[in-house]
A and B are shown apart, each in its own frame.
Chain A
Amino acid sequence: MIEVDNLKKRFGSVVAVDGLSFRAEPGSITGFLGPNGAGKSTTLRTILGLVHPDAGNATVLGQPYRALAHPLHRVGAVLEASEVHPGRSGRNHLRVLATAAGLPRSRADEVLALVELSAAAKRRVKGYSLGMRQRLGLASALLGDPEVLVLDEPANGLDPAGIRWLRDFLRSLAAEGRTVLLSSHVLAEVAQTVDQLVIIHRGRLVQQGSMTDVLARAHGATRVRTPDAARIRELLAAQGTSVTELEDGALAVELPPEKVGELAAANGIVLHELTVEQATLEEVFFELTGGETTQ
């Protein structure tokens, strides 16, 4: 369980996080989305006790991170894949962390096997690809077999097979009852992986809920097919509703289906089709964040 309560952080004149509150529950994967500079990394680093908030607070498993007795046994984190000494081998990097956490050094080899990096264990990290560094980061997060995982852009640098592997891996971790909070800018990937969504923009929460809820709440279009397309377009235009003609001749109307149906009935227009077009995560994201590009 991760709880963020009215968090505020400013760097100089830049407000990075502005009164943000949300929670990530055990047993599910929570996707943390927002355009670049929305405050995602600052929030994650505040949760982990690395950044001091100006106001509000963040707790992990009911306590501030800094108050956890053996944090690596409770919380695993992958922040930037580059936070490794390039001259050290992957295995030695993990041994250093395991030793500091009071874990046996053999744990380093176990987690390397878990992320399928055993073959490169003795190589210096300098020669690792970005994908391998991501796996090494994940391995370090898993050292203490933690209940909570925090991952900042874990899919960066992974190839499609790696992303699929990561998705299955995170799913299995969440299925074991762990809390997984991950930030990502690859929306298609997030849509396939996460259960819960937290979307922020300019340091503020703009949407939170299950993936289905968020998509349902979104402003979807209604698909209308009618032999009298010209007439209904006229009527809709007269009340200021936006209408787009689709490739197959149907119309996408920015109005709930019941309104379109009522309008058609009142004017005696025959409808051949009246369906709700489900919004995609990408559409929802751009709608909520003002169309600013992510990443």
Chain B
Amino acid sequence: MSALVASELLKIRTTRSFWGYVAAIALLTGVGAAAHIGSTQEAARHEQSFQLGLVDIVGVAVVIAIILGITIVTNEFRHGTITPTFLVEPRRERVLGAKSIAGVAFALAFAVLAFVVIAAVAIPWLAIIDIPLRLGEGDVWTRIAEQLLSVVLWTLLGIAIGTVVQNQVAALVGTLIWIFLGETLLAGLFSLLDVDGWAAYLPFHALDAADGTGGENLLSYWPGVLVSLGWIALLGAAGTWRTLRRDIT
């Protein structure tokens, strides 16, 4: 199994999109941190919520995480490399397991990169304007942990989506449409049917609750994590079943 994971890690590292992900993370979090500091009132910069807000910029990594998750699987079908992959390891569920481990490892590395970029922007800036860091306070570390778990959940959901919808374009575009349109329409429908509460259980509503930042009409943190895991398990099971049965022609 470790050989398979090593192979999956090598696969991620040896394509150009890997450097695209690194650049996107660095750019988004760098600009996000600068904008967050620049747009906050002088007085508010002393509050802890401001520093938590800096941590929350890591949230942009979830976009990269879900794209990474989807492409780890769909790239193989798109380029036909699934054939050599399954020739090396015909026990397909092990390949999916290795992909999940490698995907999560890289998504976490991207999140760490995001933290480093945010720190590289925020620490000198705050030092110059003489605002003390309040990293020691419990909430900041809790929030960092919550954001890391959130990145893991988004990666796993991406991998699960990729195994269900094996066409890369359909998986990526479908996921985007689902996030921005599907869940909104369903939430509206639930509201019409007078079951507003259901919307919070939709996959991306649940993931939204699972990043620790809270929000209106969302589940609280742990239920959000559990419902997210439930969706990952459901889609993952369907995708694994599909992958095991599929004829690779």
The chain A residues found within 8 Å of chain B, CB to CB, are 11, 41-42, 45, 48-52, 65-66, 68, 71-72, 75, 77, 79-80, 82-89, 92, 95-97, 99-102, 140
Contacts and interface: CB of A to CB of B under 8 A. Distances in A.
Which DSSP category, helix, strand, loop or mixed, fits chain B's interface? helix
B83 A83 contact: yes
B109 to A, nearest CB: 18
A92 B14 contact: yes
B86 A50 contact: yes
Contacts, number: 84
Interface string B1-25: 0011011001100111100000000
A83 B79 contact: yes
Interface string B142-177: 000000000000000000000000000000000000
A79 B88 contact: no
Contacts of A48: 87
A52 B83 contact: no
Nearest to B14: A92
B3 A102 contact: yes
Interface of B: 3-4, 6-7, 10-11, 14-17, 75, 79-81, 83-91, 245, 247-249
A86 B83 contact: no
A95 B11 CA distance: 9
B15 A96 contact: no
A52 B90 contact: no
Given A65-B90, A82-B80, 7 more contacts: A45-B248, A48-B87, A66-B91, A84-B79, A87-B16, A88-B15, A140-B84
B16 to A, nearest CB: 5
5 contacts: A80-B80, A82-B80, A83-B80, A85-B75, A87-B15
Contact of B87 (A77, A80, A86, A89): A77
Nearest to B4: A100
Nearest to B2: A102
Contact of A97 (B16, B88, B91, B245): B88
Given A52-B245, A97-B84, A100-B4, A85 B79 contact: yes
